[in-house]
Amino acid sequence: MSSESGIGSATGSRPAAYMNPYLAGMGIGLVLLAAFVIAGRGVGASGAFASVVSFFVNLVAPGHAADNPFYEKYLSRASNPFKDWLFVEVIGVMIGGFVSGYLAKRVARTIEKGPRISDKGRLALAFAGGALVAFGAQFARGCTSGQSITGGALMNLGSWAFTMAVFAGAYGTAYFVRREWR
């Protein structure tokens, strides 16, 4: 799948090798440290989606949104998602990911899956898995970015419990969906 070497500059038309995982980890750690030092905030992802959902619920049913503490929390932070810190940060994540993929010649239209499952089957499972991820993240007040990485680096007890549970849940499920990937 990948050889772990170097910075990963692409030559010819072949995709570049991925960066050494420890080096990439240090890169992410330094970005997180910069976020702490500059903004006093960590990185996140799930909060951005919650803020977009709250925006649209408020558009369609303002009364319901105002009565609901969950939507209200996001609506009181920013009048629209484009003024929300996490939403703008996630736009940045997409840009940064695309730039990295483009430089390494990894940008391609493809459905990533194992050889034993159809495109439709894989996409249906992607949707179901995505729904579970979104639900779990709201339940736990954060995802692998906000809880595991940000909260983990700050030694938040709940964040570490969450991270252990994520790995437990994933390892426990992997066997049952092995035909999707392998």
Partner 1 sequence: MTAPLMTSGVLSPSYDLFFALLIGIGFGFFLERAGFGSARKLVAQFYLTDLSVFKVMFTALVTAMVGVIFLNRIGFLDIGELPLIGTYMAPMVVGGLILGSGFAIGGY
Q: Is 29 in the site for partner 1 (CB under 8 A)?
A: yes
The DSSP secondary-structure symbol of 50 reads H
Record the tokens describing residue 53, joined without a space: 């959902």
Token code pair at residue 175: 């066997």
Euclidean distance between CA atoms 150 and 54, whole angstroms = 23
Site for partner 1 in 141-160 (CB under 8 A): 141-145, 147-159
Binding to partner 1 (CB under 8 A) within 121-140 occurs at 125-140
Q: Which of 92, 116, 121, 179 binds partner 1 (CB under 8 A)?
A: 92
36 binds partner 1 (CB under 8 A): yes
Q: Residue 101 and residue 110: Cα distance in Å, rounded?
A: 14
Residues in 99-118 at the binding interface with partner 1, rule: CB under 8 A:
99-101, 104, 106, 112-114
Q: CA-CA distances (angstroms) from residue 90 to 78, 137, 182?
A: 15, 16, 30
Is position 61 an interface residue for partner 1 (rule: CB under 8 A)?
no
> Does the protein bind partner 1 through residue 79 (CB under 8 A)?
no
The single residue among 94, 109, 115, 120 that binds partner 1, judged by CB under 8 A, is 94
